[in-house]
C-alpha cells in the first residue's frame, strides 16, 4: 500500500480536508500515512472507525508505546483518555460518580447567564462587530469548565494558552514540553489546595469520592483528570460554536429554518454541526498490541492507528449526501464524541453549551453576517482539532 503524506498539501488540507478524505475513502477505508512526522494507519471509513475506536487490541496507553518512547511520563497522562481496561474502567467509574447528568443539568442557568453576559458585551460594541471566537466561543466554555472544577479566575488566561498549545501547537514539532510541566505543576498546587480547603466544585468532589470498596483517585490521577477535563472540556466546545456558526452562515436556507423554529431544530442543528464539521478532526493515537485487521487491512503489532472522525462522518455509506449540511438530518450515528469505552464523558455539557450559545447568539443578532472585509480563515495548526482562530462577524 503506498504511503500518503498528509503534510504534502498542508495548507489546502487544513482549509478543507474533506476532498482529501473522500479521495482516500474511494480507494479504501484504511491507509498508511505520514502524520506529524510519523507513519500511522489512518482510518477513514465510518464502520471501520467504529471498529477501531472500540477494538480491544488497540491500546490508548502511549506511555508504553514505542512512538512516544522518549517522552517522560507525566501526571497529566494519568487520565482516562490515555488508559486501557481495567485501569480505564476504574478511573471512569470513579469520575462518573461525580460527573453526573444532575450536576451537568444544574449548570444550565449559569451557562445561560454567562452567555447572556458575553452577548451583552458584544452588543455594546460601537461598530457592531466582533470576533466570535474571542468574544463568545472561547470565554463561555472556559468560564464554565473553570467554575465547574474550581479554578480561580486569575488563572484562566494561562489555561487558555496552555490548552491551546497542547491541542494545536504552533510549532510543527509538537507541544513545548515546558507547557505540560507548567500546567502539571499548577494542577499539583491546585489539588493540594482543594484537599486542604475543599469547596463545592467537581475537583473537590473527585478528591472526596470513594467507591464501595474504598477506592479513590490518587494525587497523580487527580492531576490527570483535571488536565483532561480542563483541556477537553473547553477546546472542543470552542470549535463546536465556531464551526457551527460558520456552517450556518454559509448555508442561508438552513440558518433561516433554524431562526424560524429554534425550539424544534436547535438540537438537530447542533448534531449536524458536529457531524458536518466537528471540532475534533482525528481521535488521539491508538497502538496495536497485536496483529489485527481493520477494513480488510492488516495492521501489525506496534503500529500506531489514527481514526479520522471527520472522514468517518462524511462517509456516504453511512450518511446520504454527506457533504450537504442539513439540520433536519437524523442525528444518530455521528462519531464527533467518539465511540465505545472512550466515548466523551463531557458530551452532555458540550451539547448544552453549544445549543445555548448558538440559539442565544442568533436570537440576539437577527442579521448576523460575516464582515465583508474578512481575510481568509486562519485555521488551527495540526490535525487534531478543526477550527479557526478568528471569526469576524457584524450585525
Ordered by where they begin, the domains of the chain are: 4-394 (1.10.630.10)
Task: For CA atoms 12, 17, 19, 24, give the dihedral sign.
Answer: positive
Predicted pLDDT of residue 63: 63
Predicted pLDDT of residue 66: 45
Contact status, residue 30 vs residue 43, Cβ threshold 8 Å: yes
The residue with cell 512516544 is: 68
The residue with cell 472512550 is: 342
User: Cell digits for 239?
Assistant: 470549535
User: Cell digits for 181?
Assistant: 510541566
Contact status, residue 305 vs residue 43, Cβ threshold 8 Å: yes
Q: Rounded to the nearest 10 degrees, what angle do helices 219-250 and 139-149 cross at?
A: 160
Output the CA angle 393-394-395, nearest 5 degrees.
135
Predicted pLDDT of residue 80: 87
Between β-strands 30-35 and 369-370, what pairing exists: parallel, antiparallel or unpaired?
unpaired
Residue 4: exposure state from Cβ atoms within 10 A (0-12, 13-18, ≥19): middle
Contact status, residue 393 vs residue 135, Cβ threshold 8 Å: no
Predicted pLDDT of residue 133: 96
Q: Is the backbone of residue 34 left (phi > 0), alpha (psi -120 to 50) or beta?
A: beta
Output the CA angle 224-40-42, nearest 5 degrees.
95
Predicted pLDDT of residue 175: 62
Query: Average pLDDT of each block of 10 consecutive residues along the chain (395 residues)?
Result: 80 92 96 88 98 96 53 64 91 89 93 98 96 96 91 78 76 69 87 91 90 83 87 89 98 98 97 97 94 96 96 97 96 92 93 98 96 85 90 96
Q: What is the pLDDT of residues 144-188, one digit of tens each?
A: 998 998 988 767 778 778 877 887 676 665 666 788 888 888 888
Contact status, residue 329 vs residue 323, Cβ threshold 8 Å: no
C-alpha distances (whole Å) from 179 to each of 164, 175, 182 are 10, 7, 5
- CA proximity to 59, closest of 285, 384, 255: 285
Amino acid at each position: 500500500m503506498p504511503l500518503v503524506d498528509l503534510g504534502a498539501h498542508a495548507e489546502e488540507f487544513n482549509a478543507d480536508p474533506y476532498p482529501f478524505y473522500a479521495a482516500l475513502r474511494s480507494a479504501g477505508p484504511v491507509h498508511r500515512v505520514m502524520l506529524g512526522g510519523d507513519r500511522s494507519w489512518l482510518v477513514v471509513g465510518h464502520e471501520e472507525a467504529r471498529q477501531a475506536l472500540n477494538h480491544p487490541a488497540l491500546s490508548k496507553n502511549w506511555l508504553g508505546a514505542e512512538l512516544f518512547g522518549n517522552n517522560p511520563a507525566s501526571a497529566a497522562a494519568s487520565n482516562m483518555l490515555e488508559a486501557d481496561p481495567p485501569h480505564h474502567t476504574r478511573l471512569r467509574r470513579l469520575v462518573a460518580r461525580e460527573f453526573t447528568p444532575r450536576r451537568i443539568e444544574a449548570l444550565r442557568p449559569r451557562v445561560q447567564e454567562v452567555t447572556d453576559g458575553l452577548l451583552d458585551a458584544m452588543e455594546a460594541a460601537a461598530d457592531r462587530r466582533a470576533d466570535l471566537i474571542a468574544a463568545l466561543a472561547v470565554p463561555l466554555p472556559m468560564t464554565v469548565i473553570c467554575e465547574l472544577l474550581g479554578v480561580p479566575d486569575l488563572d484562566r488566561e494561562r489555561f487558555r494558552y496552555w490548552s491551546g498549545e497542547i491541542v494545536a501547537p504552533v510549532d510543527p514539532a509538537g507541544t513545548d514540553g515546558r507547557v505540560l510541566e507548567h500546567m502539571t505543576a499548577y494542577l499539583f498546587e491546585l489539588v493540594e489546595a482543594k484537599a486542604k480547603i475543599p469547596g463545592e466544585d467537581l475537583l473537590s468532589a473527585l478528591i472526596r469520592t470513594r467507591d464501595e470498596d474504598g477506592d479513590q483517585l490518587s494525587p497523580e490521577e487527580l492531576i490527570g483528570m483535571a488536565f483532561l477535563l480542563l483541556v477537553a472540556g473547553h477546546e472542543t466546545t470552542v470549535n463546536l460554536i465556531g464551526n457551527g456558526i460558520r456552517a450556518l452562515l454559509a448555508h442561508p436556507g438552513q440558518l433561516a429554518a433554524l431562526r424560524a423554529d429554534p425550539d424544534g431544530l436547535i438540537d438537530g442543528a447542533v448534531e449536524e454541526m458536529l457531524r458536518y464539521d466537528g471540532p475534533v478532526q482525528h481521535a488521539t493515537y491508538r497502538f496495536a498490541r497485536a496483529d489485527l485487521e481493520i477494513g480488510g487491512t492488516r495492521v501489525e503489532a506496534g503500529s500506531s492507528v489514527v481514526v479520522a472522525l471527520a472522514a468517518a462522518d462524511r462517509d456516504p455509506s453511512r450518511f446520504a449526501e454527506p457533504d450537504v449540511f442539513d439540520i433536519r438530518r437524523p442525528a444518530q450515528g455521528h462519531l464527533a464524541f467518539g465511540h465505545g469505552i472512550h466515548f466523551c464523558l463531557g458530551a452532555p455539557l458540550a451539547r448544552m453549551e453549544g445549543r445555548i450559545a448558538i440559539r442565544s447568539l442568533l436570537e440576539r443578532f437577527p442579521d448576523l453576517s460575516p464582515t465583508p472585509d474578512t481575510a481568509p480563515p486562519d485555521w488551527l495548526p495540526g490535525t487534531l482539532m478543526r477550527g479557526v482562530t478568528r471569526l469576524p462577524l457584524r450585525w
